[in-house]
Structures are given as structure tokens and as C-alpha cells.
Chain A
Amino acid sequence: MTVDPANTSLGRMLLEEISPVVMVLSTPLVEEACLKNGLSFLQMLNPFSSFNNIDVPERTASDQPYRLQKFKLRLYYASDVKQPNLEVGKKKLKEIITQAGEKDLSELCSDAPQISNALVSSESGNPPSWFQCFNKQLVHMVSFSDHEAFDHPVACLLVASSKDEQPINRFVDLFNTNKLPSLLNDGAMDPKILKDFLLVHDNQDGPPDRATKLLAEMRKNPWAPYKSDASPSQHLGCFLNVDDISEKIRVLNQQVSATRKGFRNQIKNLWWRKGKEDVVDSPTGSMYTFSSIESQIRVSGDYAFMLRDYELALSNYRLISTDYKLDKAWKRYAGVQEMTGLTYFLLDQSRKEAEYCLENAFNTYSKLGSSGQQNATRCGLWWIEMLKTRDQYKEAAIVYFRVCGEDPLPSAVMLEQASYCYLLTKPSMLRKYGFHLVLAGDHYKKCDQIKHAIRTYRSAISVLKGTKWNHIKDHVHFHIGQWYASLEMYDVAVKHMLEVLACSHQSKTTQEFFLRDFLQIVQKTGKTFEVMKLQLPVINFSSLTIIFEDNRTYASPSAASTRESLWHSLEEEMIPSFSTARTNWLELQSKLIPKKYRESNVCVAGDIMLFGVSLSSFVVPLAATSFCFGKKTDEWTPDGNKLSEENDNDDNCEKLTTNMDISSDNSLFILSEVDCSLGAGETITVLLTVKPRVEGTLQIVGVRWKLSGSVVGFHNFQSNYVKKNVVKGSRKAKLSPNDNLKFMVIKVYAPLQYFTPPIQPLPEKLYAGTLQQLVLELRNQSEFPVKNLKMKVSHSRFLNIGNRENLTTQFPACLEKERDSGQSGALANSDMSHEVFLFPEDTLIQGEMPFLWPLWLRAAVPGYISLYISIYYEMGDISSVIRYRTLRLHYNLQVLPSLDVYFQISPSPLRLQQFLVRMDVVNRTSTESFHLHQLSSLGNQWEISLLQPPDSIFPLHSLKAGQGLSCFFMLKSCRKLSNSEDTISSISTPLASDVRLVPQGSGDSVYDITRSPLVDFHHCERLQQESSQQGDLNAIDFILISRTLKINADPGFCNAPHLISHHSCHCSVASAAPISWLVEGPGTLHHNFSSFCEVKLKMTIYNSTGATTFVRMKTFNSSSNVGRLTGVNAIQSATPGNQAGWHDVSLVNEIKVASNIPGTQHLIGKCLPVYLVWTKLHQCPT
């Protein structure tokens, strides 16, 4: 180390602390004289006790003299030369700390805690200055101990005043009194002490000659018995005389050098004596009196140390330490070790030795228990200082930590100093710094030093700021908050408490505890707090949904919450193409609208805007929280001049509070306030509404809420978004989110109003298959007409738009078949499902008259269904900014399963082209009974009929809950055997045939399934149930019509007149085999065998496939009795290329049935069965 150890902080400290002590004994008159200046005698003398600019040669034991540049004496009153009282010492420590705390108070009030740049300032290395005072005080707490000699007075200064009567006698009295320190009396030190005499004379009290005279008298007086072996010297100081000051210094110099001389003699003495008695080696019991050799060695070591002859001191200490160790005089041993370490340090050699000695001393002191505690602390402080001078801050911090005892106050200071050490380590250990600060804070708190506790915690925050270690953060903020509250600085307290509110990771009790304390503190403030970042309840700002109506209007909130893309796809064909972009339709009016508003959204005055914000709480249930929005409005006139000035964001908060008293009639908008309470762990969505009243611009600034009636949270939406660096060029693509919160309020003169709900009667629950009539009801109360209405429905399978005539007719009676009418022409528009429905051109909605339009609803399949309906309309008023609007409706239906219907078709064994149909119906409901009304078949000229009369099938005419039923029908083809052209024409008009399942005369007539809307829905079902065999002529559709029996009490159901229809499409009559055949012939035949017997058998082969089929027939006969086919006549002449000849030579006949008719191709071949008829059977003669 290049630095002289004496110049380090420890060196300076040692020179100061371990220096000769001079005991001062003074008469009361001396003190009185000094008190004129408000000083004690000691204080007056103090400046003369340190010598900074001297150069005195010194020689101790060795012959080599050295020089002293600096020297210091410590002056103490005799009454103070004793072991300080521990309690008094502690009180002093506390005073120091409390004072320091008061000093810092102003800093505590300052708002912002030191941020991380405080690190920089503290790195520059000025920990609080009172640390040094504190450490000094700690060191002083063990001064004047009996086992160490450096605190023992080396001399005694007796002071008398010139005003004293008989000053010489006074001197004698002073030293004789029993007030002498116990150290001198109990034998710890030699009572024969060097004495100096001082006469104080104030020139104001008389001429100096009296003093001079007294001095001379003193000189004459024989004091030999009181003198020590050093020659006495007497001095006179005329302290208050300025002229005398220089003289005084000189005099003191003399005194000091004289003392030194005395020391030298003494040391020499001891040295030699020690040399003499070295061999004796007599441990003189546990008590080492001043006369014991050990004590004398120690004293000589300490004197040498004080005179900076460290080599000598070291050799003395070494010599003695083993003795003490052997004697198990641990305290003395530790003391010697301590001094050894310090000597090593000052000699600047063997660092390890120094550290080892100090550590050894520290450990030894610590082992002594409470008696050694103070010494251990002092030793630790030396040690720390030594480590610090060597830049071993980390080690120093560890020692600081070890120094901590049970006493919380010194521990706190030690811990805090440890933390600064960690800060000073390179690289600085910030986390350790923070941790030790927090520990120190806890200790401060234990001894009620709250200000200090707060100070340390605040410093810790600067380190822990932004940490993700939640428990740490919560702990620090919570405690600071509490402490500030106890200092009644509630504002700051609340600020810190706010940090801990978002504590979802904590246990429930902790959360409750935090919240309770927080609310208590807030209550104590006695006012409602406005907080920018209230973390409770948690508001999910990304979930913010804004529903406003520009050209889009919504009939219900659920419609509004539907995805925009869904509506978009629905309305795509309906909306004029120029207006697809949101802002474009404003361009027509661009002259009217200030440019800066062109980007903002548009809403309509008088319409309500909805905002959805989702909230969630932690484990703790929250009390009622009321929500409302903050916003600002500007009025603007169409010529672009704003009426009110725009405020910047800071003002918004102010304005907000003024705007809060809402709902007065002249305010520009109406705000809603929502009260809600959150359960534990609950998440809810709060809907807030704003209703602008006048034209202008409206900006949503943020949301305000009040927690438990005392804390107002405010959140600015804008602060939520980080401003992005907008790159030039892509500017248009990026609309900043703020723009979504800006609205331009305009006036629309012809809003379409609707009854809520506009479609009635709409049930919530339905049985599958239910068919019902609904009415759409709209009205427009303004004077301007609404025209060009269009409508689009998302699920045409469920909702069908009716005709105007439907309104006047009664449902379901309108569906009943009139007796004589043949086929009503209302056929389904095959492609209407995906088309926009245009209301008739002449439709104008105006005035008081509601506009009604029928709709048909059929619950096609069970489940939950969302129906979306969008109605487009244009305003008659051209001047309006908005040209058109859409009304969006959204409904949810629950469809319950009702009947399950299955059909099975099998060919009749008796006839070709006749089929048996088995219908299985199962009632899937739990309570409902169904009344089966009719079964209709819709297909290619099929006719259906019952096998049995209805009474025998359904004795009860209804199907009870859970019941199943099977019944059989006959299906007959009524197709005539006609040529192919006829067949083609018959395809386009599917023929319906109906079977009543109720007995005749029950009053119900048959419903015509070819009428709208049944046929429309049937068409949808056909498309839905599309099978692979498209256009199969053999396919047949069945429609089962039923009704519920009783009126349903469930409020979800609507008891409007209805039918239930079940559609089963594409049932194929084709059996598994492609070829079916039937042989007809007489059952019995009488024959006399006189001639050939011819039996006419008729065989019908039916090819149900579309392909050409190769048929080969074999007859089996006994060898003698072979039947011959004599001839085959193909009735079907449409097989020109066919070789129809049957040969009787062979038993194997081959027929190629070719149904390939040119021109008609495949389709025809498929639907055209080939009839081959055997006309004769030739019996071979026997």
C-alpha cells in the first residue's frame, strides 16, 4: 500500500483515540473563571492539546531516535475517568440517532424517493455523517477499561485559580480528595502519577504580577513527596490575554516534551525491569495489579504504541499475549490481540496477521458473552475500518453483520453501514445493499426509530424498483406505507400502499390484511383519494369494447358484441360498395367537416354509446364499486370553428371532476354510473353508457371508479398505449388507438326506431321442427321517410322471409289444402337462401304507421342457434351526413329435441314398384306429448297410403313423452309406363301425396306441403341433407307434421300457433340388389299331357341401376324334364341393338339389356326400367 497507514481513516482514528490521557483536576473557581466565555476549562484547554506542526525527536527503548510530526493529548476531568455507564452510553447512542432522524425529516417529506441515480451519489461515498459520531460513541463506551492501559491517564493536571485562597494548598487538596478515579484507587494503575500544576489567572481580575508571585511561591514550595519520578513543572497561563497565547503553546510544548521524557524513563525502567524478571515468570493470580509484570508490559506496550514506536509495542504485545492465553485471562488476551492487530496495521506489514489478530480478538471478546460485547463491537469497528482502508468492502460488510448484537439500535446502524459497504464494493452488490437496508430498517423499527426505518426502506426501494420478486416488493411498500401512516403522512402512505394492492400471489389473509390496512389509512386521511393507478380491481383495458352507432345500429347489446366481421360478411352484398370503408362516406360532406375530425368515429347525437370494461378481483371480495367515464367534449359548428378550446391531458382530470355532476339538462352528454360488487376471484364486465346530446366532438378520456366509497381510481386510456413511432408512409395504415376513442357527434334526422324486440313473438326455447310465424315491426317517427329497405338473414334454414299476404292470413290454417285445388303454384325460390331480400320498391316507412312484415321461423335442428339479421335502409333526407344505416338484430334460440323420425323402405314381396315404408317415431322430450298429424311424401310420383286405419295405430292420437311408435305405409309408384319424354317432364314437378294420421272427421284438414313456407323450408332441408346420389329418381322425401298437445307453461316457450314438421329427405327406394324380378303365372294348371303343355309365365325384371345390365337366366330342370324357352318377346322396343332371340338349343340364354338410348344417355337409362316378358314356356315331350 502506498498510503501511509497513519494517514488512513483508521490511522487517524487510532491516533486520535489511542493517545495519552491527561486527567484534569480543577477547583471550582477555575471553572467559574472559564464560564465567562461559556466554556468549561476542559474545552478551553482542548485546542492546546493537539500538535499538528511539531517535529520532535523521540527515542524510546531503542537507540535509534525518530521524529514525531503530530501529537495529541486527550484531556478528561477526573470524574470522567471511569468506565462509562452502559445505560448512559446507550442513551447517548439513541440521542445521536434521534437527532440524525430529525435532521432527515425534511427529506422524508419530499415526494419522490431517491431513484436509481441515488446510487451514483452514494457511490461517491458519503454515507450519513452521523455514522462516525455513532461509531465513536460505540468505541467510547468501552474506554477506561481496566485491562487496557492506553486509556489510563499518563499525567494529572492540577489547576487552581489565582483567585483561590492559598492556591498551593488547593493543589494539595485536589489530589488528595477521594474523588480520584477508581482506576487509580483499585490498583489497576499506578497511583503514583505524573502531576502538572496549572495556575489560572484572568488579567481582568488583577495584574499578572500576583500570578507571577504565586508561581514563584509554588516553585519554592517543596512538593517532592507528591512528585513522581519525573521532575515536576509548573506553568502559568494567562489564558484570556491574547498576548499570552503564543506563550501558552510554548509552555505546553515544554510540558509535553517533559512528559515524554518522563515516559521514556518509565518505559526504560519497565523495559529493564522486565528484562530482569523475565525468568521469574510468575502469574500473580487472576488480578493483574499495576505492579504485576504483565500489567507493566502491557502498559509499556501501550505507551510505546502511543509514542508510535510500533516495533516496541508489538514485541511487548507478543510477549504478553501468550502469558494471558496461558492464564486464560481471555479479556486481556483479546485486548492484547486487538492491539497487536492494530500495530500490525500501522506497521503496514503482514496484512494477514493483522486480520487474524483482530478476528481472534473479536471472537474471543464475543465468547465472553455480554461483558465482552462492547469490546467486541469496538474491535469489530477497528477491523472494519482496516478492511475498508484496504478496499475490502465486502468483507467489511460481513464483519458489520457479525458486529450486530442483540441490541437492535446498534445493530440497525451496523446493518445500514454494512449496506453502504456493499454499495461500495466493486462491482457494487445492489441486492445485498437493499437487503441489508431492509434489515436495518426492521431493526430501526424495533427501537421506534421510524424515521430511520423509512429512510432505509426508501433507499431500498431504489434498488428493488421494478423487481419481479413480489414478496419483496410487497413487504417493502407495505411497511413503508404503514410507517408513513404512523407518522400521519397519509398521502405518501397511500402512495406506497397502492403498490401492494395488486397482490394476487399472496395468500387470502395477506390480501385481506393489505386491503384492510389500505382502506384504514385512506379513511384516516378523511378525504376521498384520487389515484391515477389504482390496481384494484384489475381492469383489463385490452378488453375495452366500444359500441357506438354510426351507420350501424344495433337492436340489442348482444348484437353489438358480435364480431364486426360476421356482420360484414352478412351485409356485404347489401351495402353500397362506395361505403365499405369506414371513413369514405364522409367524403361527400368533407367540406362540412373539419379535416382533423375526418379520422375519428362518428356517432349520433341522442344515441347511446356503450363501453364494456372487464374487471376482476383477487381472492378478496370487493365492496361496491361505482364506475363512470370521464370524457371531454368540444362543440363544433359545421363551418369548422370550434366553440371551446381544446384542453391538454392534464386538464382533463380537472375537467372530469367538473363534468362529474352529470345529468343536468344543459350538459353536453349524459354519463351513466354503474354500481357493482365483485366476489372473490370474479370477473365481470361493466357496461357504461354515454349519451351525447349535441353535435360536436366527443373524446373518451378514461374511466373513473370509486373503490369502497373512499378511493377514486382514474385511468387514462391514452396513457395505456405506448406511442409508437409512426413511420412515414405507413401512416395511414396505423390508426392510433386513441382515435378509436374520438367521436364526432352528428345529427341524424331519420333514425329507424324499432320496438324492442322488433321481431315478435320470438320464443327463447323451441322444439326442433317448430314452424312459427313472426312479425317484424319497424317504425320511423321522424318526418323524413326511410326507403330502399333490404334485409339479410344469416340462417335461411331457420328464418324465412314471408310475403306481405301472409300477414292477413291465419296460420296454420292458411296452409290447409283446399279440396279442389290441384297443385298450388307457390313454389320455392330455389336459391333465395343466400340472397338479399329486397322489400318492395314502394316500401316507405314514415310517420306513425308501423311497418310490419311477416317472417317464418323453423327450428331446424336441436341446439343453440344465433340468428343474425341485418336490415339496410336509406334516409330520405339527402342532406344528412349519413346516407344509409343498418339495423342489426341478433337472437339466440335454444332448440330442444322433439321427435326422432326414421324411415325404412323395403320392397314389397308381392309387387314390383311397391314398397313398404316403416316409420319409427320416438318422442325425445321428457314432458311433452305430440300429436301426429300427417305424413307427406314428396317425390317422383310416389303415392303413399296407410296399411291400417289410423285408429288402430294410434288409439290415443298422440305420442307421450319418451314413447316410441312404428307404423307401416305402402308406397306405390303411380308412374305410367310412358316414353322417355314424359318422364323428363315429370321430374320438375315433384308430386306430393299426403296421409292423414288422424281419423277422418276430426276437423283437421290436410296441410299442403307444397305451399310456402313449408316448401321453402323443405328446400333448405333438402340442401342440407344432400346425399351423394343427387337427382336419384328413386329418392323420396317424407315430411311428418305434428303439433304439441298442450300449452307449455315454461316461460321460455312461446305459445303462438305453430306446426312441427320433420323432414326426412333423399330416402332411397333402391334396394341392395340392382335387378329385381318377379315371375307371375297361374298357381295351378290342369293338363292331360296329350299335347305340349304351355304355361304362360310372366317374368318382370326391373333394373334399378342406370347402367346397362347384362342378364343371364338359367332354368334348372331334371335331365328328362327340361323346360325350353321357346320365345322371348321384349315388350320394350327401345332396345334396338339388342339380340332378343332366345335359343332353345342351349339351356343358357343370354340377354343383353341395353338401355342406352341415344340422346337421353345415362339419366334416362337409369330411370327407365326394362321389362322382359316370358310369353311361353315350352315343355319338352317326354
Chain B
Amino acid sequence: MATTACFIIVSRNDIPIYEAEVGSAAKREDAAQLHQFILHAALDIVQDLAWTTSAMYLKAIDRFNDLVVSVYVTAGHTRLMLLHDSRNDDGIKSFFQEVHELYIKILLNPLYLPGSRITSSHFDTKVRALARKYL
């Protein structure tokens, strides 16, 4: 498992709708906003790259010091972004694909307004379990 990993789902309006620190490293107070900064800035790169390929998984698109940003863009232009320091490319890909499935299940919920914050605790536990499994 990666020591640092921060997973964020960004809606098509660039609003984070789900955030999870999934790293095994001890939590630091200022880590949260640094991770947000990096991921937020990486959106600029995603915006360029997303239209150059038909693949959803964009691989590692940005980096900050030793932290790498990997991104997966769904068809609805929701971006699953992972900030990590591990190099497990296959694991990350699988992680994204399974989270995508979970996200689709959330979308299927008629009570969920697309683009709103994902508050389902079930989703949260599933994502964390996937992170433990793949990252």
C-alpha cells in the first residue's frame, strides 16, 4: 500500500464531490490542503489531455516532487484523481475501474443528484477497501 495517497472525485463542474485520504502514512494536518492544491492544479493538465485520447485512464499526468497524479476520466467527464507516491500502474488502473463501477452505481441511485457530494458511507468503505487492495 502506498504511503501517501489521496483520492478525489471531481465533478464536471470542477467541484470535488468525494475526498478520501487512503494512504497508510500518518495523517498530517497540512497534508490535506497540499494534496488538494496539487490535484486542483492537475486539473489544468487533465483538461488538455482528456481530449487527446479515447482511453479513460490517462495514467500519470502530473507530478509534484515525488507525488504523482493519476487520472481517470469517465464518459461524463467526471474525473477520478489519485495522488500517490507508488508506482503500481496496473493496480491504479484496476482501482480506477472498480471505483468507476461504484460511481456508476451511485449515479443509478434516483435520489442522487449528479454532481452533488457523495455522502454514502457504503461507497466510502468500498473505496477504502479497494485502495487497500490495489494501491
Contact residues of A with B, CB < 8 Å?
A: 422, 427, 429-432, 434-436, 438, 467-472, 474-475, 507, 509-510
Which residue from A429, A435, A468 sits with its C-beta under 8 Å from B38?
A435
* Chain B residues bordering chain A, tally (CB within 8 A): 18
- A474 CA to B30 CA in the complex, in Å? 11
Q: Are B41 and A469 in contact (CB under 8 A)?
A: no
Neighbouring A residues of B44 by C-beta, 8 Å:
422, 429-432
**A474 CA to B41 CA in the complex, in Å?**
16
Say whether A468 contacts B16, CB under 8 Å. yes
A471 touches B32 (CB 8 A): yes
B33 contacts A472, C-beta separation under 8 Å:
yes
30 A-B pairs within 8 Å (CB atoms) are namely A422-B44, A427-B47, A429-B41, A429-B44, A431-B40, A431-B42, A431-B43, A432-B41, A432-B44, A432-B45, A434-B40, A435-B37, A435-B38, A435-B41, A436-B41, A438-B37, A468-B16, A469-B16, A469-B36, A470-B36, A471-B32, A471-B33, A471-B35, A471-B36, A472-B33, A472-B37, A472-B40, A475-B30, A475-B33, A510-B29
Contact with A along B13-45 (1 / 0, CB 8 A): 011100000000000011011011110111111
In the complex, chain A residues whose CB is within 8 Å of the CB of B36: 469-472
Chain A residues in 8 Å Cβ range of B16? 468-469
Q: Which residue of A lies closest to B31 (CB)?
A: A471
Query: A429-B45, A467-B14 are known contacts; what are 17 more A-B pairs with Cβ within 8 Å?
Result: A422-B44, A430-B44, A431-B40, A431-B42, A432-B41, A432-B44, A435-B38, A436-B41, A438-B37, A468-B14, A469-B16, A469-B36, A470-B36, A471-B32, A471-B36, A472-B33, A474-B33
- Which chain B residue has the least Cβ–Cβ distance from A478? B33
Which residues of chain A come closer than 8 Å to B45, judged between CB atoms? Answer: 429, 432
Using Cβ atoms and an 8 Å threshold, which residues of chain B touch A438?
Answer: 37
Quick one: closest B residue to A475, CB to CB? B33
Please, which residues of chain A bring their CB within 8 A of the CB of B29?
A: 507, 509-510
Chain B interface, DSSP helix/strand/loop, else mixed: helix
Chain B: minimal CB distance from A263 (Å): 47
Residue of B nearest to A507 (CB): B29
Which residue on chain B has the smallest CB distance to residue A430? B44
A-contact 0/1 string along B36-59, CB 8 Å cutoff? 111011111101000000000000
Residues of A within 8 A of B38 (CB): 435
From residue A1056, how far is it (CB to closest CB) to chain B in Å? 51
How many angstroms from the CA of A1151 to the CA of B35 in the assembled complex? 97
Residues of B within 8 A of A429 (CB): 41, 44-45
In whole angstroms, what is the CA distance A510 to B29 when docked?
Answer: 8
Give CA–CA (A509, B40) in the complex, Å: 25
Q: Which of B16, B29, B32, B41 has the most CB of A within 10 A?
A: B41
B-chain residues with CB within 8 Å of residue A435 when the two chains form the complex? 37-38, 40-41
CA distance A510 to B43 in the complex (A): 27
CA distance A17 to B70 in the complex (A): 42
CA A422 to CA B48, docked complex, whole Å: 13
A468's closest neighbor in chain B, by CB? B15
Residues of B in contact with A (beta carbons under 8 Å apart): 14-16, 29-30, 32-33, 35-38, 40-45, 47
Docked pose: A434 CA to B37 CA in angstroms: 9
What residue of chain A has the Cβ atom nearest to residue B43's Cβ? A431
CA–CA, A467 and B13, complex, Å: 10
Q: A436 — which chain B residues lie within 8 A by C-beta? A: 41
- Most chain B CB within 10 A, of A430, A472, A474, is at A472
Q: In the complex, what residues of B have CB within 8 A of residue A422's CB? A: 44
Residues of A within 8 A of B15 (CB): 468-469
User: What residues of B have a CB within 8 angstroms of the CB of A471 in the complex?
Assistant: 32-33, 35-36
Residue of B nearest to A505 (CB): B19
What residues of chain B lie closer than 8 Å to A509, measured between beta carbons?
29
Q: How far is the CA of A469 from the CA of B15 in the complex (A)?
A: 7
Q: How far apart sit A470 and B38, CA to CA, in the bound complex (Å)?
A: 14
- Please give, as numbers and ranges, the residues of chain A lying within 8 Å of B41 by CB-CB distance: 429, 431-432, 434-436
A residues less than 8 Å from B40 (CB atoms): 431, 434-435, 467, 469, 472
**In the bound complex, CA of A436 to CA of B15 (Å):** 20
- Once the chains are docked, how many angstroms separate the CA of A341 from the CA of B35? 37
B42 proximity list for chain A (CB < 8 A): 431
Query: Which residues from chain A contact B30 at a C-beta distance below 8 Å?
Result: 475
Q: How far is the CA of A1149 from the CA of B14 in the complex (A)?
A: 94
- Shortest C-beta distance, A439 to chain B (Å), equals 8
- For the complex, give the distance between the alpha carbons of A932 and B47 in Å: 83
The docked-state distance in angstroms from the alpha carbon of A273 to that of B45 is: 54
Q: Would you give the shortest CB distance from A442 to chain B, in whole angstroms?
A: 10
A residues less than 8 Å from B43 (CB atoms): 431
Contacts of A432 in B (CB 8 A): 41, 44-45
B33 — which chain A residues lie within 8 A by C-beta? 471-472, 474-475
A427 to B51, CA, bound (A): 14
Residue of A nearest to B11 (CB): A468
The residue of chain A having its C-beta at the shortest distance from the C-beta of B36 within the complex is A471
In the bound complex, CA of A470 to CA of B15 (Å): 10
Docked Cα-Cα span, A509 to B47, in Å, equals: 36
Chain A residues positioned under 8 Å from B37 (CB to CB): 435, 438, 472, 475
Q: Which residues of B contact A474 (CB under 8 A)?
A: 33
- Residues of chain B with a CB closer than 8 A to A468's CB: 14-16
A472 to B45, CA, bound (A): 18
Inter-chain CA distance A1028–B116, complex, in Å, is 52
Assembly CA distance A509 to B27 (angstroms): 13
CA distance A507 to B35 in the complex (A): 16
Give the residues in chain B near A430, CB-CB below 8 Å. 44
For residue B117, give the distance in angstroms from its CB to the closest CB of chain A.
Answer: 9
**Chain A neighbourhood of B14, CB < 8 A:** 467-468
Residues of B contacting A431 with CB < 8 Å?
40-44
| Shortest distance between the CB of A852 and any CB in chain B (Å) | 55
**How near does chain B come to A279, taking the closest CB pair, in angstroms?**
49
A890 to B108, CA, bound (A): 45
Pick from A434, A436, A469, A510 the residue with the most CB of B within 10 Å: A469
A1009–B117 alpha-carbon span in the complex (Å):
64
Whose C-beta in chain B lies nearest to the C-beta of A472? B36
Most buried by A among B15, B29, B32, B33: B33
Assembly CA distance A514 to B32 (angstroms): 16
Residue of A nearest to B17 (CB): A468
Q: How far is the CA of A1108 from the CA of B42 in the complex (A)?
A: 90
Closest to B44 in A: A429
Closest beta carbon of chain A to B14's beta carbon, Å:
8
Q: How far is the CB of B12 from chain A (nearest CB, A)?
A: 13
The smallest beta-carbon distance between B6 and chain A, in angstroms, is: 10
A410 to chain B minimum Cβ distance, whole angstroms, is 18
CB distance from A440 to the nearest CB of B (A): 12
CB closest residue in chain A, given B35: A471
The chain B residue sitting closest to A438, CB to CB, is B37
Which chain B positions have C-beta within 8 A of A469? Answer: 15-16, 36, 40
Name which residue of chain B comes closest to A425, CB basis: B44
Docked Cα-Cα span, A431 to B32, in Å, equals 17
B39, closest chain A residue (CB): A469
Across the two chains, which residue of chain A brings its CB closest to B65? A401
Complex contacts, A470 vs chain B, CB 8 Å? 36
Interchain CA distance A366-B20 in the complex, whole Å: 37
Distance to closest chain A CB from B5 (angstroms): 16
Instruction: Tell me the complex Cα distance, A509–B30, Å.
Output: 12
How far is B22's CA from A800's CA once the two chains are assembled, in angstroms?
Answer: 65
Separation of A469 and B38 alpha carbons in the complex (Å):
11
- Chain B residue numbers with a CB within 8 Å of A472 are 33, 36-37, 40
Q: Among B30, B36, B44, find the residue whose CB has the most chain A CB atoms closer than 10 A.
A: B44
The smallest C-beta distance from B123 to any residue of chain A, in angstroms, reads: 17
A510 to B35, CA, bound (A): 17
Report the separation of the CA atoms of residues A436 and B41 in the bound assembly, to the nearest whole angstrom: 9
| Chain B min CB distance to A11 (Å) | 30
A436 to B30, alpha carbons, bound, how many Å?
17
Name, among B16, B38, B47, the residue most crowded by chain A CB atoms within 10 Å (CB to CB). Answer: B16
When chains A and B are docked, how far (Å) is the Cα of A1105 from the Cα of B47?
Answer: 85
Give, as a whole number of angstroms, the nearest-CB distance from B78 to chain A.
Answer: 14
| Complex CA distance for A429 and B45, rounded to whole angstroms | 8
Residues of B within 8 A of A427 (CB): 47
CA distance A474 to B15 in the complex (A): 15
